[in-house]
């Protein structure tokens, strides 16, 4: 039944959409979103007017939704469901409209009564107000592309407020973010994976999406962790913990390729065994989510088990392995600009047996060809390239655009510089690999670079089958990087005596801003770094510090941080006026003002250190690349600052306040503003991300000099300056009038 009364405009839109769908079929073109786009252009309320199938299942989440949705589709079809899917339409609003158009009669009624469709998490705000699913499966919520999805809290709010109370939610009990979604929905089913041998005692990775209690901000204590922040934990203060699961994996037998699920709702809590063709923890979660949803739709456990044993299982689309010349050739897909997916891919590769070479084709090959786009690389600093320090990783080859930035990040991760190469394309990567002494070549690639990954593997196979001599990588003759990411050409005592305080690092790790502290550590190996967690008194209150650094955070953490630091605002202002170097970036800068906007539409008092107020325009996004001029005002030469601005906020500051930089391209405190950021004494508040220190070597050298009082040798200076020069040429090139370069 439709949500609104149909009108002539709707029927015209439906007809136009059907004509477009028919034409695309005749031309053998997919164009999955085009029919919906045309229909919505004719009738802006088309989705509201359109009839819907009687039963609708949506699958959403940050990672795994495509795999899970496709698997669930196959399970249901194999068990007799006449199913409407959006595999050809796409998971955004226009794609879902296109799928409904193809399934509709000329009257607008739907032919098939059951739909199972993947739903893009950000598009849920456009779809859920007009389509009420019977079931909404949410796989998980991680940080995704910061440019598109900001942070998990933002995506949480987008989904949560649009869920109907009538919808049954199927949620991951191991994810303390997504399991709290939509409290207005009373019908809730939880799934979980019990303790496994490979579990860790704390969240995995350089950053975690959940290091603090989502209710009170206090510390979380983990019993075990399966993947990133997924596991079982509780708050040490308020007692918040995982919900009890209705479906729980109790055993995994990797040799037998089975897993056992206990159904805790049923009398006697029966257990059922299911086949898993290719084991990984991500595959287990995806398969479990599909099984649970099929069970809630009435498919018996025996029928699901039969389907899974009969060949319906996790596909190899994102993990494909071949063999040539006695060597494994494995392609592992990940979502570009998604630190969780890429970290998981790297971890998967490093857990494979034998010596290996790794090729990265992570920058979107096609997006890189656009003269009006520039990839935001802060996500490299959220990604666990540290895994590559595994002694079995003998060579790393970086391919294509943004490779210079990735080279710097790899060195900061401690990867041996003598084993890293930068090449322009996949063919060059295949030729660069040293194939002696290794058991496999692994290509980690962005999902849009599949043809590039295939080209690389084909090139390696051709070399192996040609019978050429297999030369091994020479033994390292000394590297610029030590195992801890500290360059050997930086004096080990550089920065000795300095004390650098990093405020709330568990909060201030959004947008790659954790990279600022990471780069400072590499440049000042002799300094003492104090990491002050939320809930403890800052070091600057009672002891002398040489610098204070705080990175961008989610809106929820912003509110907590401002309240916690309020008692120390006068001390912070006193230190700033005394010239103590401070760097507050992105949303951390906003809490220094008099007030800032909150997620509920209200306002919260800031610290009052700066004459600044912030307007929050969520969900509107403000994105631009940034080029500006920084005047240190101490006799040092002017510097060109490069970076990006990706935020929901606009600032209003005192025009007489000393700005951080004059805008050359992009915008400053607000759109149209010619000044970016604010300075007070030694304090710099800026919304430029990148991270700003690793992306701007001259500024990094100046900031280190403020800390130490002397000139310093930058960590990996050669690589940092090469990356800066490439970005500078890209962001300052002449453009046609009205054109900009955006991330």
CATH number at residue 565: 3.40.50.880
Q: Are strands 622-630 and 659-665 parallel, antiparallel or unpaired?
A: antiparallel
Say if residues 301 and 295 touch (Cβ distance below 8 Å). yes
Position 140 in a domain: yes
As a whole number of angstroms, the distance between CA 77 and CA 64 comes to 20
Are both 562 and 591 inside the same structural domain?
yes
Question: Higher model confidence: residue 682 or residue 368?
Answer: 682
**Torsion sign across C-alpha atoms 675, 681, 685, 691:** positive
Q: Hunting for tokens 């922040």 — which residue is that?
A: 229
What would the pLDDT profile of 265-275 be if each residue is shown by its tens digit? 999 999 999 99
Say if residues 214 and 180 touch (Cβ distance below 8 Å). yes
Q: Where are the beta strands (DSSP E) in 200-318?
A: 220-227, 230-235, 247-253, 258-263, 271-275
Please give the average per-residue pLDDT across 111-121, as a whole number: 94
What pLDDT band is residue 484 in, cutting at 50, 70 and 90? low
Are both 280 and 414 inside the same structural domain?
no
What pLDDT band is residue 486 in, cutting at 50, 70 and 90? low
Q: Strands across the sheet with 639-647, in order? A: 528-532, 499-503, 547-550, 582-585, 683-686, 675-680, 659-665, 622-630, 639-647
Are both 292 and 329 inside the same structural domain?
no
Please give the average per-residue pLDDT across 457-482, as a whole number: 80
Please give the average per-residue pLDDT across 365-389, as a whole number: 85
Q: What percent of the chain has pLDDT over 70?
A: 96
What would the pLDDT profile of 127-170 be if each residue is shown by its tens digit? 999 999 999 999 998 877 766 677 888 888 889 999 999 999 99
Assign 678 to helix, strand or coil: strand
Does the pLDDT value for residue 475 go beyond 80? no
Are both 460 and 547 inside the same structural domain?
no
Does the pLDDT value for residue 657 go beyond 80? no
pLDDT at 1: 39
Q: Which of 466, 485, 519 is the endpoint of a domain?
A: 466
Q: Strands across the sheet with 319-324, in order? A: 319-324, 327-334, 440-446, 356-361, 393-399, 420-423
DSSP state of 682: T
Question: Higher model confidence: residue 30 or residue 678?
Answer: 678
**Torsion sign across C-alpha atoms 176, 178, 184, 186:** negative
pLDDT at 27: 75
Quote the number of domains for the chain: 3
Query: Within 10 Å of residue 479's Cβ, how many Cβ atoms?
Result: 17
What pLDDT band is residue 483 in, cutting at 50, 70 and 90? very low
Assign 739 to helix, strand or coil: coil
CATH of the domain at 135: 3.40.1190.10
pLDDT at 487: 65
What would the pLDDT profile of 204-245 be if each residue is shown by its tens digit? 888 778 878 888 888 889 999 998 899 999 998 899 999 999
What is this structure's pTM?
A: 0.89
Are both 131 and 252 inside the same structural domain?
yes
Q: Which of 253, 285, 309 is the endpoint of a domain?
A: 309
Are both 292 and 422 inside the same structural domain?
no
Range of the domain at 392: 319-466
Q: Which of 260, 278, 309 is the endpoint of a domain?
A: 309
Q: For residues 170-204, b (16+ Cβ closer than 10 Å) or e, as one string?
A: bbbbbbbbbbbbbeebeebbbbbbbeeeebeeebb
What would the pLDDT profile of 537-595 be if each residue is shown by its tens digit? 999 999 999 999 999 998 989 999 999 999 999 999 999 999 999 999 999 999 999 99
Residue 262: both structure tokens together: 């206990």
Q: Where are the beta strands (DSSP E) in 285-392?
A: 319-324, 327-334, 356-361
Are both 340 and 245 inside the same structural domain?
no
Spatial neighbors of 639 by CB under 8 A, at least 6 apart, are 629, 630, 632, 696, 698, 699, 702
């Amino acid at each position: 039944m439709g949500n609104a009364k149909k009108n002539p405009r709707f029927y015209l839109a439906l007809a136009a959409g059907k004509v477009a769908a028919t034409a695309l079929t005749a031309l053998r073109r997919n164009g999955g979103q085009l029919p919906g786009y045309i229909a919505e252009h004719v009738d802006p309320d088309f989705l509201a007017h359109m009839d819907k199938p009687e039963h609708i299942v949506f699958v959403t989440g940050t990672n795994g939704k495509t795999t899970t949705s496709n698997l669930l589709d196959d399970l249901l079809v194999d068990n007799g469901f006449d199913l409407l899917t959006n595999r050809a339409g796409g998971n955004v609003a226009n794609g879902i409209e296109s799928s409904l158009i193809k399934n509709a009669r000329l009257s607008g009624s739907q032919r098939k009564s059951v739909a199972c469709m993947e739903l893009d998490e950000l598009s849920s705000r456009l779809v859920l107000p007009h389509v009420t699913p019977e079931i909404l499966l949410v796989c998980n919520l991680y940080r995704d592309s910061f440019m598109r999805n900001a942070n998990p809290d933002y995506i949480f709010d987008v989904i949560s407020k649009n869920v109907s109370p009538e919808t049954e939610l199927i949620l991951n009990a191991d994810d303390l973010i997504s399991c709290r979604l939509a409290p207005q929905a009373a019908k809730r089913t939880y799934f979980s994976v019990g303790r496994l041998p490979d579990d860790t005692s704390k969240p995995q990775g350089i950053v975690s999406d959940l290091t603090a209690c989502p209710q009170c901000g206090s510390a979380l204590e983990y019993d075990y962790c399966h993947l990133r922040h997924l596991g079982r934990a509780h708050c040490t203060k308020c007692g918040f913990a995982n919900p009890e699961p209705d479906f729980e994996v109790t055993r995994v037998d990797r040799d037998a390729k089975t897993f056992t699920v206990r159904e805790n709702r049923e009398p006697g809590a029966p257990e059922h065994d299911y086949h898993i063709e290719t084991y990984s923890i991500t595959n287990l979660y995806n398969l479990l989510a599909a099984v649970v949803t099929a069970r809630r739709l009435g498919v018996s456990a025996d029928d699901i088990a039969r389907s899974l044993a009969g060949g319906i299982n996790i596909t190899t689309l994102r993990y494909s392995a071949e063999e040539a010349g006695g060597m494994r050739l494995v392609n592992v897909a990940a979502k570009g600009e998604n630190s969780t997916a890429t970290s998981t891919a790297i971890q998967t590769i490093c857990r494979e047996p034998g010596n290996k070479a790794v090729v990265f084709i992570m920058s979107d090959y096609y997006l890189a060809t656009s003269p009006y786009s520039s990839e935001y690389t802060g996500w490299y600093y959220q990604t666990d390239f540290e895994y590559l320090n595994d002694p079995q990783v003998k060579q790393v080859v970086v391919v294509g655009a943004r490779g210079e930035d990735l080279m710097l990040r790899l060195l900061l991760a401690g990867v041996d510089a003598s084993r890293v190469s930068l090449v322009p394309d996949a063919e060059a990567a295949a030729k660069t690999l040293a194939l002696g002494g290794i058991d496999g070549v692994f290509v980690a690639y962005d999902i849009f670079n599949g043809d590039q990954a295939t080209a690389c593997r084909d090139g390696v196979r051709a070399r192996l089958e040609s019978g050429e001599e297999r030369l091994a990588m020479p033994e390292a003759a000394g590297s610029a990087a030590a195992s801890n990411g500290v360059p050997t050409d930086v004096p080990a005592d550089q920065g000795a005596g300095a004390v650098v305080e990093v405020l709330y690092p568990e909060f201030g790790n959004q947008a790659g801003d954790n990279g600022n502290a990471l780069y400072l550590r590499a440049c000042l190996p002799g300094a003492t770094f104090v990491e002050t967690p939320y809930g403890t008194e800052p070091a600057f209150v009672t002891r002398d510090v040489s610098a204070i650094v705080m990175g961008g955070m989610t809106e929820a953490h912003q509110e907590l941080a401002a309240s916690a630091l309020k008692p120390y605002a006068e001390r912070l202002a006193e230190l700033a006026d005394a010239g103590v170097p401070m760097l507050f970036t992105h949303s951390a800068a906003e809490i220094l003002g008099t007030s800032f906007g909150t997620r509920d539409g209200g306002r919260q008092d800031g610290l009052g250190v700066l004459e600044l107020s912030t307007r929050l325009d969520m969900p509107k996004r403000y994105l631009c690349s940034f080029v500006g001029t920084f005047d240190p005002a101490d006799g040092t030469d002017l510097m060109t600052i490069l970076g990006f601005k990706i935020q929901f906020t606009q600032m209003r500051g005192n025009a007489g306040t000393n700005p951080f930089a004059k805008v050359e391209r992009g915008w400053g405190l607000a759109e149209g503003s010619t000044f970016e950021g604010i300075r007070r004494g030694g304090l710099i508040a800026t919304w430029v991300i990148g991270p700003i220190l690793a992306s701007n070597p001259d500024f990094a050298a100046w900031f280190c000099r403020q800390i130490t009082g002397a000139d310093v040798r930058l960590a990996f200076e050669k690589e940092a300056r090469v990356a800066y020069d490439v970005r500078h040429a890209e962001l300052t090139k002449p453009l046609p009038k009205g054109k900009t370069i955006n991330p």
